[in-house]
Amino acid sequence: MPIRLLSSEVASQIAAGEVIERPASVVKELLENSLDAGARSITITIEEAGKKLIEVADDGSGIPSAELELAVTRHATSKLVHSDDLFSISTLGFRGEALASIAAVARVAIASRAVGKPHAWRIEVEGGTIGAVAPAALAAGTTVTIEELYFNTPARRKFLRTEATEWAHCDEAFRRIALAHPEVAFSLTHNGRAQVRVQAGGRRSRVEALLGDAFVLHAAAVDADAGDVRMSGLAVRPAYAAEGPLTQYIFVNGRFVRDRVLSHALREAYRDILHHDRQPAYALWLTLDPRRVDVNVHPQKTEVRFRDSGAIHQFVRHAVERALAANAAEQPAVSAAERLGIAAAQMPPLVATDNLGASGQQRQDANHSNPFTAQRGLMLAAGEPAAFYRQLFGERTAVARTGPARSGRLPSRVCRNGACPPRPTRQSG
């Protein structure tokens, strides 16, 4: 076959595939846009796991009517001006391709009222064809409505998984962003049912709402800084680390990332104190000068490259090691219980649960079945007496008193060389 140029329609559908892999990618991109626009409150409505509808309404700065068409044009962004800006990115978006990509594979409507304007304007795009800008009714901010994702790319649509799986991806995308930005209120509805509603607040309350009280109760506070690099958040103490899939969240300058340097640093921090069949669990925020990290590594921007990865690795590892060691020496369980105003003796036993259903009471805010979060973390089981809890607290307290003072390692109560104290039975409800 001779070499031919792809039609612009096919080319943009291919490009869209890199950014919009599945409905969850739309959720991520739209939420990032709302955050970049300075939204304080974001409402997300999803139907059929995003295959039918994804709508994100924010109260951010809005898009001027004259720019609505540009917003859905590829490589048009308000966030970068010079190529130098690429090396100091402080916004979540910057590539100017999300809305254009979504518009290439879905029906898109954007209504927006720019700050200070008398009313809102609206634009519709279908399969890449941009309609006229028309007046609309909207009190403030921007509402982006995405319908019938992949309606014009049936092959892509066929690759979507079951509604439960796609929903789990959407929920996880939401969770990453809502955790990263506790200063913003979020509400999430799926198929007409409220899933999550969280007020603006601090990190601790956001983690509690989205990852459960037990996560907070059994975590050590991490707080360290070295010049312009700062890390804070929560790292679950080894005795409470889960066996199942991961609850591992690291945010770099407000962005969820999957980074080998960071996850290796975390594994190292837990290495000598965590039984080999357990996984570290954490929610950590790393902030640093944007010039020290390259986020333009991949279209989806979950990968980053640190300019000085060795120093970052050391910093993160030590920050978490110190937090876990200090926490172990402080009889943490008792103080954690006190913090919540609960007497330790009244507390039900801890159960590593493999089913989110069991955690419903702990997670009223986030009461939904998500295979990602379902099997992670620890939940408080209802009912049984506090013997196991007391045993844990008693032992830990004793070890904390007699154990090595702040040696940089946890005392050896927790699973060493495969020898773990008895664990409660797994709960399957």
Provide the binding-site residues for Mg ion, judged by CB under 5 A. 33, 93, 98
d(CA 305, CA 298): 10
Q: Choose the one of Mg ion, ligand ADP, none that binds residue 94, judging by a C-beta under 5 to 8 angstroms depending on kind.
A: ligand ADP
Q: Which is nearer to ligand ADP, 67 or 330 (CB)?
A: 67
Q: Which residue, judged by CB position, is nearest to Mg ion in the bound state?
A: 93
User: Cα Rg for the chain, rounded, in angstroms?
Assistant: 23
C-beta of 188: minimal distance to ligand ADP in Å?
16
Strands 185-190 and 41-47 come out as: parallel
User: How many C-beta atoms surround the C-beta of residue 285 within 10 A?
Assistant: 20
C-beta of 97: minimal distance to ligand ADP in Å?
6
Q: Which residue, judged by CB position, is nearest to ligand ADP in the bound state?
A: 93
- Specify whether the CB–CB gap between 182 and 249 falls below 8 A: no
User: How many C-beta atoms surround the C-beta of residue 118 within 10 A?
Assistant: 6
C-beta of 96: minimal distance to ligand ADP in Å?
4
DSSP H helical ranges for 20-67: 23-36
Torsion sign across C-alpha atoms 139, 141, 147, 151: positive
C-beta of 16: minimal distance to Mg ion in Å?
13
C-beta of 33: minimal distance to ligand ADP in Å?
3
Q: Choose the one of Mg ion, ligand ADP, none that binds residue 95, judging by a C-beta under 5 to 8 angstroms depending on kind.
A: ligand ADP
Q: Which is nearer to Mg ion, 98 or 328 (CB)?
A: 98
> Looking only at Cα atoms, what is the longest distance across the chain?
78
Q: Choose the one of Mg ion, ligand ADP, none that binds residue 300, judging by a C-beta under 5 to 8 angstroms depending on kind.
A: none
d(CA 120, CA 135): 6
Q: Choose the one of Mg ion, ligand ADP, none that binds residue 60, judging by a C-beta under 5 to 8 angstroms depending on kind.
A: ligand ADP
Q: Which is nearer to ligand ADP, 143 or 279 (CB)?
A: 143
Both tokens of 92, joined, read 């979540």
Q: Which is nearer to ligand ADP, 33 or 248 (CB)?
A: 33
DSSP 348: P
C-beta of 366: minimal distance to ligand ADP in Å?
24
Q: Which is nearer to Mg ion, 96 or 360 (CB)?
A: 96
C-beta of 396: minimal distance to ligand ADP in Å?
47
d(CA 19, CA 97): 8
Q: Which is nearer to ligand ADP, 165 or 302 (CB)?
A: 302
d(CA 424, CA 114): 56
Q: Choose the one of ligand ADP, Mg ion, none that binds residue 142, judging by a C-beta under 5 to 8 angstroms depending on kind.
A: ligand ADP
d(CA 193, CA 144): 20
Q: Output the CA–CA distances (angstroms, integers) from residue 19 to 12, 34, 42, 299, 342, in the order listed.
A: 11, 17, 22, 6, 47
Q: Which is nearer to ligand ADP, 95 or 107 (CB)?
A: 95
Q: Which is nearer to Mg ion, 93 or 377 (CB)?
A: 93
Q: Which is nearer to ligand ADP, 30 or 312 (CB)?
A: 30
Q: Choose the one of Mg ion, ligand ADP, none that binds residue 244, judging by a C-beta under 5 to 8 angstroms depending on kind.
A: none
C-beta of 362: minimal distance to ligand ADP in Å?
32
C-beta of 136: minimal distance to ligand ADP in Å?
14
Summarize as ranges the residues that interact with ligand ADP (CB under 6 A): 29, 33-34, 37, 58, 60-63, 71, 77-79, 93-100, 142
d(CA 43, CA 55): 8
Q: Output the CA–CA distances (angstroms, integers) from residue 380 to 240, 250, 280, 365, 384, in the order listed.
A: 11, 24, 18, 16, 10
Q: Choose the one of Mg ion, ligand ADP, none that binds residue 248, judging by a C-beta under 5 to 8 angstroms depending on kind.
A: none
210: left (phi over 0), alpha (psi -120 to 50) or beta: alpha
Output the CA angle 204-210-213, nearest 5 degrees. 60
Q: Choose the one of ligand ADP, Mg ion, none that binds residue 12, judging by a C-beta under 5 to 8 angstroms depending on kind.
A: none
Q: Choose the one of Mg ion, ligand ADP, none that binds residue 31, judging by a C-beta under 5 to 8 angstroms depending on kind.
A: none
